[in-house]
Chain A
């Protein structure tokens, strides 16, 4: 067994053991939050990291799935119908998002996705007959697949963990597949990819759909976790939060969005115990990371460690002639 396989097995066992390691439901719930946001961040990370398309409208897709499930449940449908129909609705909306926003890349892509996300927010906020406006929609029960109730914190954690592992596996396979390689090609050299005969738009479109699928799954987990959905979950700040997870962890890596999700959820929960103003902190961290560690924590930590390692090695070799560290 290679070192990597061992690490993966240990990580999975550790995740399975979380509910048994603590008797506090609070911590189990935080672990569930981390996993569900990790699924969201993985989905957004596919676009941001591998396709090079920064979306500021993903909370809209997340919210469409949440709202669709909550609405269908409130209308008296069963869980299976609500989840499947919710996914279908969210995917149709994703296709619409993709068709409109993929007319552009770069900055224009950001602007279009931002505007589209705000449409969803406006609908959530003002289309009161469907979304119940600012009051949101309550979800009475969690589903019980195969007779196993997800009502308890542990039951829900286990279900979220299964979805999370599936999502990680899906992204890992996706990234290593020829399609993933082609997607990275469209990020780095779209013209050459076109010249090589790839349909760049179509590759981006399916990447967007995959990203939307993961995002919708996370949205459904979210609405069942909170058993409540309100326009706040769809606001621009929520999209920014997702983007912060991807960028803080490291876009274009598999582990980055997961680390970022854990970081953001933990800071959010710790911070909210001490300060009332989470959004201020969110913005400040955002600015700090973009300015000082633009490649994210995972690659950034690797770089800093490497620099430090080299500095130590050089200090041993020669007297410290220059104090200026190597520029990134």
Chain B
């Protein structure tokens, strides 16, 4: 019984991390119409930067949460530069843009290997969240509960941002019909930069708060990018609800797969994607942004 409860908690936690990762991926896809293949690198880069800030290797030490926010801001800024100076040059050529994000992801992976070496870096739980909460017979790790709560808060915040703010309305307009949005005076190209940076920051933040669970290692980007892809194919591109539901589903399949069929976990993970592709190519919630 305890085993199943723990497995469920782990699944929801992982789903929460996946949501933070794939919400940005999905929004970028919805607006710019490209799969951002650097998204895994942003996740990994955030984790490495955060771990470095946490360890105080730059001469000053930040606590866990500040390190996560600082890493997210740094990655968001770098990504905004990449969007502005690299992807913007290739506007309208989506294939070329995808290939550029692929090239940059290879560069980032190698750069991280150069800077941080090949050994995994473990990230300690933040202060005060190292313990457990007892619910019945099961002892649930406090930190994982915190991650679930954070993902929930972000889901609501993103929803409110898209639904209730001016920026959100502009993003929705851009996703729906970029040409018409331009006609009514929305600077869609500036939205590109904002959404790209926002998605990057979310991914980097997820990388850091995923640190105590996944640790940081070379190849983390290649582990996470396909998961974001699967979530988005499953949930439908450009849909916040889709990436939420998709993340939870994939979180469950991934964790249960690893516990029950460790050798084929990766394979089992892709079965729902294949099913969706065959039965409902636009994804479960394709075409609806919220």
CB distance from B70 to the nearest CB of A (A): 25
B267 interface contact, C-beta 8 A: yes
Distance A186 CA – B125 CA, assembled complex (angstroms): 55
Known contacts A240-B102, A290-B96; is-contact A122 B266 (Cβ 8 Å): yes
Q: What chain B residues lie within 8 Å of A37 (beta carbons)?
A: none
Tell me how many residues of B have a C-beta within 8 Å of chain A.
Answer: 45
Residue pair B106, A237 in contact (C-beta under 8 Å): yes
The stretch from B141-149, B163-171, B273-281 touching chain A is B273-281
**B111 CB-CB contact with A under 8 Å:** yes
CA–CA, A127 to B96, complex, Å? 34
A125 to B266, CA, bound (A): 9
Query: Which residue in A115, A123, A237, A247 is a CB contact (below 8 Å) of B226?
Result: A115
Known contacts A103-B277, A123-B266, A128-B263: A283-B103 contact under CB 8 Å: yes
Please encode chain A, from 93 to 135, with 1 for each CB lying within 8 Å of some chain B CB and 0 for all others: 0000000100110110011101110110111011111000000
Q: Does B120 contact A (CB under 8 A)?
A: no
Instruction: Flag if B35 contacts A107 (CB, 8 Å).
Output: yes
Interface residues on A, range: 35 or more
CA distance A278 to B230 in the complex (A): 29
Contact status A280-B107, CB under 8 Å = yes
Looking at B59-67, B86-94, B189-197, the stretch in contact with chain A turns out to be: B86-94
B91 to chain A, nearest CB (A): 12
CB-based nearest B residue for A115:
B229
A284 in the interface (beta carbon within 8 A): yes
Task: For the complex formed, measure the closest distance between the CB of B269 and the CB atoms of chain A, giving whole angstroms.
Answer: 8
Q: Does A54 contact B (CB under 8 A)?
A: yes
Question: Quick check: A280 and B111 within 8 Å, CB to CB?
Answer: yes
CB-CB under 8 A from A119, the residues of chain B are 266-267, 270
A114, A277, A294: which contacts B229 (Cβ < 8 A)? A114
A121 to B263, CA, bound (A): 12
Q: Which chain A residue lies CB-closest to B230?
A: A115
Query: B277 and A112: CB pair below 8 A?
Result: yes
Q: Is the interface of A mostly helix, strand, loop or mixed?
A: helix
Cβ B100 vs Cβ A287 within 8 A: yes
Partner of B106, one of A103, A123, A129, A279: A279
Which of A56, A114, A116, A122 has most B Cβ within 10 Å? A122
Q: Per a CB cutoff under 8 Å, which of B33, B106, B107, B233 touches A115? A: B233
Give complex CA distance A266, B281 in Å.
41
Contact mask for chain A residues 274-291; partner B; CB cutoff 8 A; 1 contact, 0 none: 000111101111110011
Residues of B with C-beta under 8 A to A280: 106-107, 110-111, 114
Whether B86 pairs with A100 at a CB distance below 8 angstroms is: no
**Which of B89, B226, B269, B270 has the most chain A CB within a 10 Å cutoff?**
B226
CB 8 Å contact bits of A285-314 with B (1 = contact, 0 = none): 111001100100000000000000000000
Picked from A125, A237, A243, A290, the residue with its CB within 8 Å of the CB of B90 is A290
In the bound complex, CA of A136 to CA of B149 (Å): 41
Q: B110 touching A277 by the CB < 8 A rule?
A: yes
CB distance from A290 to the nearest CB of B (A): 5
Given contact pairs A107-B94, A115-B233, A291-B90, A100 touches B263 in the complex (Cβ within 8 A): no
Q: By the criterion CB–CB under 8 Å, are B229 and A243 in contact?
A: no
Instruction: Say yes or no: A107-B34 contact (C-beta < 8 A), given A114-B226, A114-B229, A119-B267.
Output: yes
Return A187 CB to nearest CB of chain B, in Å: 12
| Chain B residues within an 8 Å CB radius of A237 | 106, 109
A235 within 8 A of B: yes
Residues in chain B near residue A121, CB distance under 8 A:
222
For residue B226, which residue of chain A has the nearest CB?
A: A118
CB-based nearest B residue for A104 = B281
| Contact of A291 with B266 in the complex, beta carbons under 8 Å | no
Query: Whole-angstrom distance between the alpha carbons of A283 and B37 in the complex?
Result: 12
A115 to B230, CA, bound (A): 7
Name the CB-closest residue of B to A56.
Answer: B102
Chain B residues lying within 8 Å of A118, measured Cβ to Cβ, are 222, 226, 229, 266, 270
6 contacts between A and B (CB under 8 A): A56-B102, A111-B229, A123-B266, A277-B110, A283-B110, A290-B99
Starting from the known contacts A104-B281, A125-B266, A291-B90, 5 additional A-B residue pairs (CB-CB under 8 Å) come to A106-B95, A107-B33, A126-B264, A282-B103, A285-B103
Query: Chain B: residues with CB nearer than 8 A to chain A?
Result: 33-35, 37, 86, 89-90, 93-96, 98-100, 102-111, 113-114, 222, 225-226, 229-230, 233, 262-267, 269-270, 273-274, 277-278, 281
